[in-house]
Every structure is written in C-alpha cells, then in structure tokens.
C-alpha cells in the first residue's frame, strides 16, 4: 500500500516538472540541434527545405577567408580589451565608495543602476544625439575647452568603435557595481580593523584587502562580461549598423546580417557555433586559471 502511494506521488512530481522539460526540448534543445544540422547545409530561408543541400564543412572553411567575419572577430576582441578592464576597475571603485558612508547612498545606487535597466533603443538614440559631430553636446563641450579637431564619433572609422565602447561601459557599470557591492558584504570587517590598527591607509586597505577578497567576484564578472561582449548587438545595430565600412561590425551583428539580410542561414548557423565554441573555450581557460589562483591564494 505504501509503495503504491509512493509511485503515485512520483508521477505527480513528473507531471509538475514535465512542462519545463517539454519547453526546454521545444524551445532550446531542438533549435540548438537544428542549428548544428543547418550549419552543414546551404539552407536559405526563402528556398525552404526543398532547396537545401548538404555542404559539409564548407561554411566553416569559408569563415577563414571571409574578410567581414575576420573583421568582426577583430572588432570583438578590441571591444573586450577596451571595455572590460575599465568596467571592472570603475565598478570596483564605485562599489567601494557606495559601500561606505556617502551622502544620498540609495539615490546614488539607483542612479548608477538605471542605465542597466533602461531600453537599449532609448539609450542608443540619446547617445547618437550626444555623438552628433556638429550639434552633439560632447563635441560642443570639447570645443568649449579649446579642442578644435573634435572626433567624428559614429561617422569616423577611427572613433566609431571607441564610441560604442564608451556606451557599453556606461550601460554595464550599474550591474557590475551591484555585484561588487554584494561581494563587499562578505568581507570580514575585522580585516579592515586590524589593518587600521597596523596603520594602513584607505588605498592600502583597498589594494591588499578589498581587491584580493573580491577575486572570485571579479572572476565571475569577467566571465559574464566577456560573454556579454561577444553578444553585443543592439547598440551596434542601432547606432552604426556595423559601419562605417567594417569599423564596428561584430560577430553577433554579422550573424544577424548573414541570416536575415542575406538569407544565408547555413553560414549564419556555422558562425553561431564557432562563437559558442569560442566562448566555451574562454570560460574553460579562465576557470582553470582561477582555480590555480585560488589554490595559491
């Protein structure tokens, strides 16, 4: 009797979790496996399955001779190098300041976090106005302090990518700061009190206590920021469309172009899989390095 009741309870549990499994299979597992299959074909969304043929590794080989894809990879790497170190350092400093006694602490926290929850479209439109070469407030400010040769920003091959980096840093600052503030709560205050007794100043405590104790938080943010940088799409597509030329073309935006503008779904799927493998490899390498660092710490 007891075993029958147990079996009935188990089936009830299965019924409860079944919608999650069904949703996972339909909306995640099947599309992922289908994209892997499509990456080995020349699937065109307008020709349908009848016009699809197997091309083997042709799509993957094509990437290494596609100058647009190579430019997108280069821009993504520059984007990571130009944004993540600044983002990490600024977030840690702001979190440390906001974690201490500051005037209007809650208001300042909300102010820092607002860009993260704001609409990407609204943010892009505002920054496009600010970056306007002739009427934008940024160039007007630069001219007011005596700089005559102001940047062309989004219309300049040299300045378009740095302009997008500035927007990305501004948008990501709130999330990173909040995570660092959560990490700061876990640091034992006795460490700071002992350091103060030994005569350490604020900078020394920040360098020798705060930074090392936040290493696991820094690792987490570095991983999520790198993954986020490879997925950069909204601001690029709205503000520059990948231009001028190849100056701001990034991988996610080029995948979108290949799939939905040029209708080369097979090629787009193959690039998406290379992107996935790249992100997974970076995560594994960083995980190994972090583990070694934690063991030595």
Per-residue pLDDT of the chain (297 residues; tens, 9 = 90+): 445 555 566 778 888 888 999 999 999 999 999 999 999 998 887 887 777 888 889 999 999 899 999 999 999 999 999 999 999 999 999 998 888 877 777 888 888 888 888 899 999 999 999 999 888 899 999 999 888 888 889 988 999 999 999 999 999 999 999 999 989 888 888 888 888 888 888 888 888 888 888 888 888 888 888 888 888 888 999 999 888 888 999 999 999 999 988 889 999 999 999 999 988 888 788 777 766 666 555
pTM of the model: 0.82
Q: Does a cis peptide bond (omega within 30 degrees of 0) precede residue 4?
A: no
In this structure, the number of other CB atoms found within 10 A of the CB of residue 8 comes to 10
**8 A C-beta contact, residue 63 and residue 264:** no
What are the distances in angstroms from CA 20 to CA 25, 35, 268? 9, 21, 28
> DSSP strand E in the chain: where?
none
In the chain, helix, strand, coil percent, each to 5?
75, 0, 25
In terms of Cα–Cα distance, which of 155, 173, 161 is closest to 88? Answer: 173
- Residue 177, H or E segment: helix 160-184
CA 199 to chain centre: 40
**212: helix, strand or coil:** helix
């Amino acid at each position: 009797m007891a075993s029958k009741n147990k079996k009935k309870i188990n089936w009830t549990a299965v019924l409860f979790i079944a919608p999650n499994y069904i949703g996972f299979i339909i909306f995640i597992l099947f599309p992922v496996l289908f994209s892997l299959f499509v990456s080995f074909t020349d699937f065109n969304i307008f020709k349908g399955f009848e016009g699809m043929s197997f091309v083997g590794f042709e799509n993957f080989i094509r990437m290494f001779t596609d100058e647009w894809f190579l430019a997108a990879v280069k821009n993504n790497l520059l984007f990571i190098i130009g944004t993540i170190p600044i983002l990490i350092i600024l977030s840690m400093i702001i979190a440390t300041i906001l974690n201490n006694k500051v005037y209007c602490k809650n208001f300042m926290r909300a102010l820092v976090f607002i860009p993260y929850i704001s609409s990407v479209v609204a943010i892009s439109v505002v920054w496009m106005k600010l970056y306007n070469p002739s009427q934008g407030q940024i160039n007007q400010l630069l001219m007011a302090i005596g700089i005559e040769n102001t940047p062309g920003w989004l219309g300049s091959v040299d300045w378009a990518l740095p302009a997008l980096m500035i927007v990305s840093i501004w948008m990501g600052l709130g999330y990173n700061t909040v995570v660092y503030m959560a990490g700061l709560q876990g640091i034992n205050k006795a460490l700071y009190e002992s350091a103060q007794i030994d005569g350490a100043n604020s900078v020394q405590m920040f360098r020798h206590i705060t930074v090392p104790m936040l290493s696991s938080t820094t690792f987490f943010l570095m991983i999520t920021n790198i993954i986020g940088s490879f997925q950069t799409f909204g601001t690029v597509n709205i503000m520059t469309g990948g231009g001028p030329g190849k100056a701001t073309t990034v991988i996610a935006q080029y995948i979108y172009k290949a799939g939905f503008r040029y209708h080369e779904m097979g090629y787009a799927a193959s690039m998406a899989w290379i992107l996935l493998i790249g992100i997974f490899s970076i995560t594994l390498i960083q995980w190994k390095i972090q583990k070694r660092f934690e063991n030595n710490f």
